[in-house]
């Protein structure tokens, strides 16, 4: 089963976030209204995933390329919950937010337990600023 989802990302989200004190995702940095795009495939076997993954990835890349061809059509920000393992959503949060997240991680996890011993996910230690 495949799914294609379009979700509005109005600048109002960022404005409301700033008014409430802000957050580290950097949504307020978006210059204009946008649309989040999510493509998924639900599969039963690893063999099906091996066949479908490159096709879904190419699908997403073709939409990104299309948006990039429109003046102001491609927004930098990526929603972590919709991100694929080949993407780097944390890097889209902005340099100031990345530095803050790294400082907090270092302060509360100086041994980097969550960065090294917890498998999977996107790691702030892997983001270059």
Residues 9 and 66 grouped into a single domain: yes
Domain boundary among 77, 100, 115: 77
pLDDT at 18: 92
* pLDDT at residue number 118: 87
Same domain, 70 and 91: no
35 & 73 share domain:
yes
Residues 36, 67: one domain? yes
Expressed as residue numbers, the domain containing 125 is: 87-129
The pLDDT value recorded for residue 128 is: 84
Shared-domain flag, residues 8 and 42: yes
Q: Do 93 and 116 belong together in one domain?
A: yes
Q: What's the structural domain count of the chain?
A: 2
The three state secondary structure string of the chain is CEEEEEEEECHHHHHHHHHCCCCCCCHHHCCCCEEEEEEEECCCCHHHHHHHHHHHHHHHHHHHHHHHCCCCCCCCCCCHHHCCCCCCHHHHHCHHHHHHHHHHHHHHCCCCHHHHCCCCCCCHHHCCC
Same domain, 42 and 94: no
- Per-block average pLDDT, block size 10, for the chain (129 residues)? 93 94 91 94 96 95 94 92 92 95 95 90 90
Residue 82 belongs to some domain of the structure:
no
């Amino acid at each position: 089963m495949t799914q294609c989802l379009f979700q509005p990302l109005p600048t109002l989200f960022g404005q409301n976030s700033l008014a409430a004190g802000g957050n580290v995702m950097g949504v307020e940095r978006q210059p204009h209204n946008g649309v989040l795009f999510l493509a998924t495939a639900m599969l039963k076997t690893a063999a099906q995933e091996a066949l479908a993954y490159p096709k879904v990835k190419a699908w997403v890349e073709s939409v990104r390329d299309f948006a990039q061809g429109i003046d102001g059509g491609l927004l930098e920000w990526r929603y972590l919950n919709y991100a694929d393992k080949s993407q780097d959503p944390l890097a889209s949060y902005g340099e100031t937010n990345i530095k803050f997240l790294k400082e907090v991680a270092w302060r509360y996890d100086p041994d980097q337990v969550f960065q090294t011993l917890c498998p999977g996910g996107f790691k702030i230690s892997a983001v270059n600023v």
